[in-house]
Amino acid sequence: MPMPFANTADQLLPTGYAAPGSGAAGRYPDAAAMVSAIRPDQPIYCFRPHVLRATARNFIDAFPGRVLYAVKCNAEPIFVDALRDGGVCDFDTASLTEVALVRDRYADSRAYFMHPVKQRGAIREAYYRYGVRHFALDHPDELAKIRQETGDADDVTMMVRLATPRGAAVYDLGGKFGTDVAGCIDLLRAVQAGGQKAGLCFHVGSQCLTPSSWATALRLADEVLRGSGVPVSVLDVGGGFPAPYVGLYPPPLDAYVAAIRDALPDAARAPGCELWCEPGRALVAAGASLVVRVELRRAGFLYINDGIYGSLSDLKYAGLRFPMRVLRAGGRPSGRLAPFSLFGPTCDSADVMEGPYMLAEDVREGDYIEIGQAGAYTLELRTDFNGFLPDRFVEVTDPAFLPMPAMEPTEATARAAE
């Protein structure tokens, strides 16, 4: 069960959480109310369990198959709890630690080991201790490894991973994992010859903006299934379902589902074949925002108390722009916006997020910035470099802080930031 907050608002436990409806000091109407109440010295995650529950229910209702949450996106227990409350019982796991998290926490959960290259001990413990029966692979040696570590068990489903071309994805995952059509055909036939069940999976890349990328991948999957002649018990269309960011407004989920439905191979429509997906970012991004404090303003640069070594690596490496707004304890910032760049708290000069980010033009030291869409990967990728580790949470009850067109930098403001 989630741990309660300390009794006073200014005594936040580093990993404490407010139980929904508990009325604990860690529950606020919104981030602005939290800032006014406690004026935090450290970054604060504003957790929205109601958003996570609704998003989970929407995805389960829309997708015509099994929805596996990609735990790597955010493994914090309160986030996983909220998704579980929304109906998610299946989990795409990439390590034994993730397997243990969901299997130990929820007796009725199902974990699927979808990392194509696994440690032998992890395979063994996942199978014998945690009851995992689905394992991904993309190489003959990994197939042999799984067989050896599970004692050639015939209740294992071998999920052969197909390499797919890169579409409009922010992160391309095809260069590291997956094999081509011919390699998949060989692996599926080898799985069948060994007496195990066979499945086929792929991943079009994280934050994929084009539903047609799934149609392209499914055409390749059809080629594999026809060429191999091996019946599969699962076709897994992977993750990559996007979340909106400033300047990135993906099509609605229905467009992705329609593209998948229309392109499904005949073999995937046959009785006995399940359809799976593995959303991560699309499920949890809107489930939290992050509140940071401005420690110094220097012209068009703001020094804040979190950065790329903490929660904000996506701002540096993926080119994603999160929605942001200035909060001022005991007052209101200007309604006029100006472009700013951000420096994180570490001593490393690479800890910079260039933007431009459109923020209140009178932002100053002591103000706070709420950063939306912070539920995905922020927590998983943070480090404690220089001793900075954002690890505090409150619950807020307002709607998700999503990007709006007003947050877009115009050509004129972009030039002013140069």
Q: What is the pLDDT of residue 14?
A: 35
* Peptide bond between residue 242 and the one before it cis (omega within 30 degrees of 0): no
Counted residue by residue, the chain has a size of 418
Q: What is the block-wise mean pLDDT of the chain (418 residues), using blocks of 10 residues?
A: 34 38 64 96 97 98 98 96 97 98 95 98 98 98 98 97 78 78 98 97 92 96 97 97 93 97 94 97 98 97 97 84 95 95 96 94 98 96 94 96 75 43
In a shared domain, residues 32 and 150: no
Beta bridge partners, 343, equal 303, 352
DSSP character for 409?
Answer: P
Domain that holds residue 187: 50-284
- Say how many domains are in the chain: 2
Task: Give residues with Cβ within 8 angstroms of 175, minimum separation 6.
Answer: none
Q: Does residue 14 lie within any of the structural domains?
A: no
Question: Structure tokens of 145?
Answer: 């490894």
In a shared domain, residues 154 and 168: yes
CA angle 367, 287, 308 (to 5 degrees): 55
In a shared domain, residues 114 and 209: yes
Q: Does residue 21 lie within any of the structural domains?
A: no
Beta bridge partners, 120, equal none
Q: Does residue 135 lie within any of the structural domains?
A: yes
pLDDT in tens, 270-286: 999 999 999 999 999 99
- Distance between CA atoms of 285 and 315, rounded to whole angstroms? 14
3 state DSSP class of 147: helix
In a shared domain, residues 266 and 343: no
In a shared domain, residues 276 and 334: no
Q: Does residue 235 lie within any of the structural domains?
A: yes
Q: Does residue 409 lie within any of the structural domains?
A: yes
In a shared domain, residues 291 and 170: no
Q: Which residue, 234, 256, 284, sits at the end of a domain?
A: 284
In a shared domain, residues 73 and 59: yes
Q: Which residue, 228, 262, 284, sits at the end of a domain?
A: 284
The position carrying tokens 């990328």 is: 213
In a shared domain, residues 317 and 334: yes
* CA dihedral of 115, 117, 118, 124, whole degrees rounded to 10: 90
Angle of helix 96-105 relative to helix 77-85, nearest 10 degrees, comes to: 50
Q: Which residue, 284, 311, 338, sits at the end of a domain?
A: 284
- Distance between CA atoms of 88 and 53, rounded to whole angstroms? 9
pLDDT in tens, 62-99: 999 999 999 999 999 999 999 999 999 999 999 999 99
In a shared domain, residues 148 and 177: yes
In a shared domain, residues 380 and 393: yes
